[in-house]
Amino acid sequence: FFYGSAYSEAAMLMQIFLLFNIFYLLAGGNAHQAALYVLGRQRVALIINWASLAVTAGLAALLIPNTGPLGGPTGALVAIGVGQAGAVVVQLAYAWRLLHAKYPIRFSARVLLALLPATAVVYVIHPSTWGWFPQRLGPVRVPLSLSELILSVVLFTLVLGVGLWLAKPIEHVDVDLLAQTNPRLRPILTPFASGAPSPRMVISKQPTRPVRKSDLDKLSQSPTTRRPSEPTPKKPASHLPIETQQMEE
């Protein structure tokens, strides 16, 4: 957008970089390594990281000297991306065995489902063909590429918001956990949560009735309720043990 055709070759490198990073984040990112630390598998996490580093170094030694399409800077990006992707997949598989739950798959799949329409809309619709962008804002000249970039970001954000609202990638349990850190997050995240609301939310939504005087009267007349000033009634002698009756006589 900003640098013209002189930097067109760098666009392919940026696409490769973004592709591997999107996969890395959708697969869970650093969450699996943190989970292994919490579960007491620090040694396993360290071995996986060293193996990933070895794979990265080996691929870099093979690809970077190559003169083909995967050589040079492209080979370096591929080597780093494959090493990181392999590490996160292995950590994910090991965490599944320990937790007995495929915890990031549902969330990642729904986020990916919400991303597809937004990406398709931005890829198909090119705002530069609309021809109504302002050329100047007062004394400042606005480049066409900047206007197109801003409009593409706004369009992508709107379509992504609708997609997340339909896909609902998080659950109400996640909303409750996040609301403990910041209660303002609850109304923001609730439209994107699936499933039934948590019991605490259901109870909080039930209407409450103020306490009336009749309720207090019923409570005071209850046989289980006794005023503090009333003495404890003494049991009849017939209900006392035989030894106690003899002592009283």
The pLDDT tens digits for 131-163 are 556 666 666 676 666 667 778 888 889 999 999
pLDDT band of residue 197 (cuts 50, 70, 90) is low
**Count of C-beta atoms within a 10 Å radius of residue 245:** 12
Give me the numbers of helices (H) and strands (E) for the chain, helices first please.
11, 4
Q: At CB < 8 A and 24+ separation, what contacts does 103-108 make?
A: 104/27, 104/28, 104/31, 106/169, 107/169, 107/170, 108/26, 108/27, 108/28
Find the range with the poorest average confidence among 89-98, 100-109, 115-124, 233-242.
233-242
Which residue blocks in 100-143 are alpha helix, DSSP H? 103-124
Residues 52-109 pLDDT 10s = 999 999 999 998 888 877 888 888 999 999 999 999 999 988 888 887 766 667 787 8
Say how many Å lie between the first and final Cα of the chain, rounded: 107
* HSE-up (13 A, CA, CB side) for residue 136: 4
* CA angle 49–52–57, rounded 5-degree value: 130
**Mean pLDDT value of segment 216-229:** 55
